[in-house]
Amino acid sequence: MTKLYLAIPCYNEEEVLYDTTEKLTKKFDEMIAQGKITPDSKICYFDDGSKDKTWQIISELHKTNRYVNGVKMSRNRGHQNTLLGGLMTIKDRCDCAISIDADLQDDINAFDKMIEDFENGSEIVYGVRSKRATDTAFKRMTAQGFYKVLSALGAEVVYNHADFRLMSRKALNALANFKEVNLFLRGLVPLVGFKTSVVEYERSERLAGESKYPLKKMLGLAWDGVTSLSMKPIRMITSLGAIVFCISIIILIYSFIVWCLGRTVSGWTSTVVSIWAIGGLQLLAIGIVGEYIGKIYMETKHRPRFIVEEELK
């Protein structure tokens, strides 16, 4: 039997907490009765410095509900930091943790399959949405654009997977070795490796309240993802420099021909050629400097260079 902890970040979620807890309690009762999880499994809420009654409600639920635990962050630090902070706080108390949003848009009936995969040896199980029927057209388009732009810019993520995933204690301990502060968990978790699997589910609508992830925050998250995972934007500058430099050579040939034909004003050829050549060389130089800065950036993260999965002694 698996000792499961649910990891649930909450920011101003007073409207959904009672409903969420009721549904999760029912689910836990069922899973315990079926012998899938141990009776000391927990529903763990992480309060991300909410300004409403979220923490009061969590404290109250902790007293009245035997499953509910809580962790309060000192101030609002955003979803990713709160989730990581919470996971790191609980990692040694459980066999595995499933992270899920407080609004229960992700299907709690996927827990069973996730636990099953975990028991069959998966250290990380990704919840992946099969359809996006319930999202608004706008959310669907922006979210799909999000994955496309991310992968085009070199940040590898699991397609249509948000932060609904199971991680074993072993995977959480490996994740703890990633010391970076610019957090993008969806990109970081795949770097951990180990045996993984995918569980598909359908995403439903938010229980109540409104999305705490407006377009602005989503763009911020995407940008964090790109800049913390990939050096591709820097390489794009280098390529642009090379392209502009090539154009300058074409222009050089063209203006030389025009000059030979005597159809130019004096001074035109040298001016035009040098504008393109200098521009190209500058971009190229910035790109090369950027390449080194990128390397330094990656070094400063002190990511683990390897993670051992198994040993035979």
Stretch binding ligand UDP (CB under 6 A), from 5-13, 89-97, 224-232, 247-255:
5-13
Candidates 222, 31, 51, 167; CA nearest to 112 is: 31
3-state secondary structure of 125: strand
Q: Figure out which of the listed residues 4, 6, 7, 11 binds ligand UDP, where binding follows CB under 6 A.
A: 11
Q: Figure out which of the listed residues 14, 95, 103, 123 binds ligand UDP, where binding follows CB under 6 A.
A: 103
Q: Figure out which of the listed residues 27, 79, 113, 129 binds ligand UDP, where binding follows CB under 6 A.
A: 79
102 touching ligand UDP, by CB under 6 A: yes
Q: Figure out which of the listed residues 21, 41, 69, 82 binds ligand UDP, where binding follows CB under 6 A.
A: 82
Interface with ligand UDP (CB under 6 A), residue total: 16
- Residue 151 binding result from Mg ion, ligand UDP, none, given CB thresholds of 5 to 8 Å by partner type: none
Candidates 231, 219, 196; CA nearest to 301 is: 231
Shortest distance (Å) from residue 77 CB to ligand UDP: 7
Shortest distance (Å) from residue 12 CB to ligand UDP: 7
C-beta closer to Mg ion: residue 15 or 103: 103
**What's at 305, amino acid-wise?**
R
Sign, CA torsion 171/72/163/15 = positive
Rounded distance between C-alpha atoms, residue 179 and residue 297, angstroms: 13
CA 89 to mean position of chain CA atoms = 19
**What's at 308, amino acid-wise?**
V
Rounded distance between C-alpha atoms, residue 83 and residue 97, angstroms: 11
Contacts of 158 (CB under 8 A, 6+ apart): 126, 128, 186, 190, 198
CA terminus-to-terminus distance, the chain: 27
C-beta closer to ligand UDP: residue 13 or 117: 13
C-beta closer to ligand UDP: residue 105 or 227: 105
160 touching ligand UDP, by CB under 6 A: no
Would you tell me how many other CB atoms lie within 10 Å of the CB of residue 205? 11
**Residues in 161-220 that interact with ligand UDP by CB under 6 A:** 211-213
- Residue 102 binding result from ligand UDP, Mg ion, none, given CB thresholds of 5 to 8 Å by partner type: ligand UDP
User: Which residues of the shown chain bind ligand UDP in the complex (CB under 6 A)?
Assistant: 9-11, 13, 48, 76, 78-79, 82, 101-103, 105, 211-213
